[in-house]
Amino acid sequence: MREDGVRLLNHTRTLRCEVVDGEQRLVVTSGPGVHPVGAHPDQRSGGAEEALPFDLLLCAIGRRARATGFGLEALGIPLTPAGTIETNASLQTRYPNILACGDVVGPHQFTHVAAHQAWYAAVNGLFGGIKRFKVNDRVIPRVTFTDPEVAQVGLTERQAQARGIPYEVTRYGLDDLDRAITESAAQGFVKVLTVPGKDRILGACIVGEHAGELLAEFTLAMKHGLGLERILGTIHPYPTWSEAAKYAAGNWKRAHAPQIALTWLGRFHDWMRGST
């Protein structure tokens, strides 16, 4: 994005909008005194003000579920503090025969999550009296369709740190991927979080061309408990974007290669060469 002329302002807080001599300006506070979103207001002081001229201002403030006005109040169906319809793990409201799914339930406002929940809502609506199925939302893929795309599944580093979960990071740069090079799109990376010393995947983040498609392999692996060893042992056609997952797994394998065993293998082959 920087190469395309985009200026990215990290740790910056918006103060106000103003018009000076006919020019629209956004005034922000930036600098070492500004802390990330979520910091205490007293910790945000000390930065220098800067006026940024603009033509159009896009405010991305998210959205809230519209769960009122449908008669739920008359039935006494409660809402959560976030404004979504309160349901159990089977997507049933306080009335077992009234189920809800999608953005009005949350917490993930994605079309693919709504479709995932819809299956559970439909099946539980049909067979809830006999057997109920709990929604499995442990592994939710998410993609931001910018250019380049940003795709994630599982834990991010920040989430792992906040929860006190130990992890290791393995990275693979897409500038090394032959398919990315041939398509002149060799920017970005694959980053995988794993359990320390093990190949079990805690989360994956991909930034680059086709990141949303590349994420599917990691989502499948996490869903079914497959580690990086299984991805590395899977044949990927050459040259394809999917090889990025294999090469990331290869980087993990090299970082965890059994050095003692390799040393003895080296001595064994030295002995074999000397005996012939």
Fill in the DSSP letter of residue 193. Answer: E
Q: How many angstroms separate the CA atoms of 143 and 104, rounded?
A: 20
Instruction: Return the structure tokens found at 75.
Output: 């039935």
Ordered structural domains, the chain, with CATH: 1-60 (no CATH), 79-127 (no CATH), 143-255 (3.30.390.30)
User: CA–CA separation, 187 vs 18, rounded Å?
Assistant: 37
Q: Contact at 8 Å (CB) between 31 and 17?
A: no
Question: 10-residue block means of pLDDT along the chain (276 residues)?
Answer: 84 92 93 49 61 91 86 92 93 94 92 95 92 89 93 95 96 97 96 97 97 97 96 97 97 87 78 74
Strands (E), the chain: 13-20, 23-30, 48-53, 142-144, 149-154, 168-173, 188-194, 201-208
Is the distance from CB of 148 to CB of 208 less than 8 angstroms? yes
Contact 114, 101 (CB under 8 A): yes
Report the alpha-carbon distance of residue 168 to residue 196 in Å, rounded.
5
Burial class of residue 56 (count of CB atoms within 10 Å of its CB; 0-12, 13-18, 19+): exposed
pLDDT at res. 271 = 80
Please name the residue that has the structure tokens 């979520």: 38
**pLDDT for the residue 185:** 94
Spatial contact of 221 and 202, defined as CB atoms under 8 Å apart: no
Q: What is the pTM of this model?
A: 0.79
What is the rounded radius of gyration, in angstroms, for the C-alpha atoms of the chain?
25
DSSP 7: P
What string of DSSP letters covers 131-156? -------SS--EEE-SSSEEEEEE--
